[in-house]
Structure 1
Amino acid sequence: MLIRPIIFIIKLILSIIPLWSIQILGIIFGHLFHFFKNNTKNILIQNLACTNIYKNESDLDQAINLNISETGKTILEGLSIWASPQKRVLDWVSRVEGIHNIAQAKRLGKGIIFLTPHLGAYEISSIYYGSTHPLTVLFRPSRLSWLSNFMDNGRKKGLIKLAPTNRSGIKKILQALREGEAIGILPDQAANKGEGEWVPFFNRPAYTMVLVSRLVKKTGASVIMVYTERLSLGKGFAIHLEAIKSKEIDSPTGLNKLLERIIRKNPTQYLWNYDKHKGYESQLEKFK
C-alpha cells in the first residue's frame, strides 16, 4: 500500500529538481548501490576489465570509479525522464549531430531502425524523435508491476508506442516499418532464448539478437545508430546519429563489432553492470 505514495513523491521530486541536482544525487546513488550490491559491482568490474580498453591498472580503477558514478546518473536520469513532461526532457538536449541522416532515411520510405545501446542517457533519443514523428519502441517489460506502469507511462510521450519483446511486439514493429515509420531497439540487450547467437562481444561470448539483421533483410529499412552523450554536470546531452550500412549488421557478429566501435567513443558512460554474458561459460570451448 505504501508503494504508490512513495512513487508519487519520487516522481514529484524528480520532475521538479534541476538536472545538475539529479546528476549529483545519481553519483551518490551509484556508489551506494554498488557498495550494497556487490555482485552487480563485480559484473561491472569484470565487464570493463575484459574490454582491454584500459592498458594499466590505474586507468582501469579510475574508469571503474567513474563508471559507477555515470551508472548512477543514468538510473536517476531515467527515472526523471519518465517522471517529467516531454518539454522538460527536450530542453535537456543541448545539440544533435547527424540530424541529416534522418531526412535521408525518410526519403527512402522503407522505415528507420534506430539502434540505441545502453550508452549515456539512452532514454532521451526516443523522446526526441517521438516528439515529432511516430516511433515504435521494442522493450522488455519489468517483472515488477509498479515499476512497469511507471516505465510504460513515462516512455509513452509524444508519438511513441511501445511493443513488448514477444511475437505481438515483433508484429507491431514490422507493421511500423512497412508503413514507413521508425522503430527503436536496444541492440545490446541479451536476446530471448532461441532468438540469438553466441558471438564475441569485447573478447567474451554474448548471446546476441538476430532480430536486427533479419529486420533489415526483410524490410530494407534504413539503420541509424543513436546514442546520447552526457555532457558536463548540468549541461545537458548531445544526441549522435550515424547512418549504418546494412552489411555492417548482416549478422550478430557484425552487430557486436558495431556496438564495440560506438561504445569505445565513451566507454565510461556505458552500462557495464548489465550481465550480457550470462551463461557464457558453456560456450568457452567454441571461442578458444
Structure 2
Amino acid sequence: MLMTRLFLLLARWPLWALHALGWLGGWVVWLASPTYRRRWWAHTRLAGLRGRARWASVGAAGQQVAELPRLWFGPPVPVGWEGAAHIDAALAQGRGVLFLTPHLGCFEVTPRAYAERFGTHAPITVLYRPSRQAALDALLQRARRRPGMAAAPTTLAGVRQLMHALRRGEAVGLLPDQVPPEGLGVWAPFFGRPAYTMTLAARLAQQPGVQVLLAWGERLPWGRGYVVHVQPWAQVMDAPLAADPAQAAAQINGAMERLIARAPSQYLWGYARYKSPRALR
C-alpha cells in the first residue's frame, strides 16, 4: 500500500523536518481550501483568538498531521512530563483512570507516553473512530497496537471495552471534543456556541471509583519533542461533575476550554466542532 510505504519512509525523518514539512502543509491547506479557511476564521473569532497565536495555529495544524508517521512507526521521541505524580497517585489506589484530552497539541503522544511509562502496571485503552477505507483503517489499527496500549472503536463493543478496562483498574483515554454519532450526545456550549457533545465521557467518569485526569501533549519548538501535562479534574474545575448529562457535558466542554487557553496556538481550530450528526441536519 502506497500510504503505508510513505508513512514508513517519513517515520525515519527527524522530528524538526516533519514539523517544518507540516507547517508548510498547514498553510497550503489553509490557502487552498475556502471551506477550511472560513471554519478556521469563525472558530478562532468565536474563541477570541487574535494575533500571533491565531496565525501560528495554521502551521501547527499541519504539524499535527506530519508528525504522525514518526509517532506511529518511528523511533521514540523525547517526552517530558508535568504532573506525572497525579498518575502515580491515581494508579496507587488501584481504580480506573479516565484521561480527557482535547484536540490540542499532539494528542497522539499522550497515550503513547503513558503506555511507555505506566503501561506495564495499568494498560491504557484509547477510543478511536474507524476509517471508512479498509486500507487506512488497517494502518490505524497497526499504528495503535503497542505494549501497554489498546484501541477501542467508536461502537457499542468499543464502549463495553472501555467500561471493562476501567473496572479492571486500568486507564482509558478519549477526546471529549470529538463530535459523536447521532443519539450519543447532547447540545452544550463550547466557547459560547452550542456544540453536539458526547455523553460518553461523563458516563465513564461517573463509574464507581473512576478518577478523572485532564491531559494534553504540548509540542515543543524546533523538533525538541513534547511535554505531557496532567491535572486532576479538581485543579481545573471548581465543581464535581454533575449527574445531569447536559450539565456534565457543559462542564467537560468548560474544562477543555481551560486547557486550550494554555496553548491556543496548538488547538485544531479548523476541526468541524460545531457540525451536527448527519441524521440531525
**2:146 aligned to 154, 157, 166, which one?**
157
In the alignment, is the contact (CA less than 8 A) between 1:225 and 1:241 conserved in 2?
Answer: yes
Is 1:228 the counterpart of 2:217? The answer is: yes
1:73 is aligned, of 63, 70, 81, to: 63
Displacement of 1:63 in angstroms is 3.5
SS in 2 for 1:137: strand
2:7 is the counterpart of 1:11: yes
Q: How far did residue 38 of structure 1 move?
A: 2.0
Aligned ranges for residues 200-215 of structure 1 at < 5 Å? 200-215=189-204
Once residues 150 and 5 of structure 2 are traced to their aligned partners in structure 1, the CA distance between those partners, rounded to angstroms, is 26
Partner of 1:44: 40
Q: 2:127 aligns with which of 132, 138, 150?
A: 138
Contact 1:212–1:249, Cα closer than 8 Å, also in 2:
no
Kept in 1: contact 2:202–2:249 (CA 8 A): yes
Percent identity over the alignment is 33
2:274 aligned with 1:277, yes or no? yes
Inter-partner Cα distance in structure 2 for 1:153 and 1:12: 12
Q: CA deviation at 1:34?
A: 2.0
Instruction: Count matched residues.
Output: 266
Partner letter of residue 216 of structure 2? Y
Matched, 1:267 2:256: no
Equivalent residue, structure 2, for 1:22? 18
> 1:96 Cα shift?
0.3
Mapping for residues 241-260 of structure 1, pairs under 5 Å? 241-245=230-234, 247-250=239-242, 251-260=248-257
Distance 1:109 1:188 in 2: 28
> Residues of 1 paired with 2:152 and 2:4: CA distance?
25
Q: Distance in 1 between matches of 2:100 and 2:276?
A: 24
Match of 1:96 in 2: 81
Please list, as runs of the form range in 1=range in 2, the aligned pairs for 1:110-125 lying within 5 A after superposition. 110-125=95-110
Contact 2:8 2:69 in 1 (8 A): no
Cα distance in 2 between the residues matched to 1:20 and 1:199:
38
- Tell me which amino acid in the other structure corresponds to 1:217: Q
The amino acid across from 1:75 in the alignment is V
Change (3 A) 1:128 1:235: same
C-alpha distance in 2, partners of 1:266/1:155? 26
Distance 1:248 1:229, change over 3 A: farther
> What is the letter of the counterpart of residue 42 of structure 1?
R
Structure-2-length-normalised TM-score: 0.90
Q: 1:108 aligns with which of 78, 93, 97?
A: 93
Which 5+ residue runs of structure 2 have no aligned equivalent?
Answer: 243-247
Equivalent residue for 1:286? none
Provide the TM-score with structure 1 as the length reference: 0.87
Contact 1:78 1:121 survives alignment (8 Å): no
Distance (Å, rounded) in 2 between the aligned partners of 1:155 and 1:249:
30
Q: Please tell me the residue identity of whatever aligns with 1:77.
A: E
Deviation of the 1:74 alpha carbon: 0.4
Q: Counterparts of 1:109 and 1:129 in 2: how far apart (Å)?
A: 16
Residues 94-125 of structure 1, C-alpha deviations (whole Å, 9 max, x = no match): x1010100111112222100111111011001
- SS of the residue corresponding to residue 219 of structure 1 reads coil
3-state DSSP class of the match of 1:218?
A: coil
State how far apart, in whole Å, the 2-side matches of 1:98 and 1:109 are.
Answer: 19
Unaligned residue ranges in structure 1 (runs of 5+): 284-288
Contact 2:13/2:70 (<8 A) preserved:
no
Call closer, same or farther: CA 1:273–1:244 in 2, change over 3 Å. Answer: same
1:83 is aligned, of 40, 56, 73, to: 73
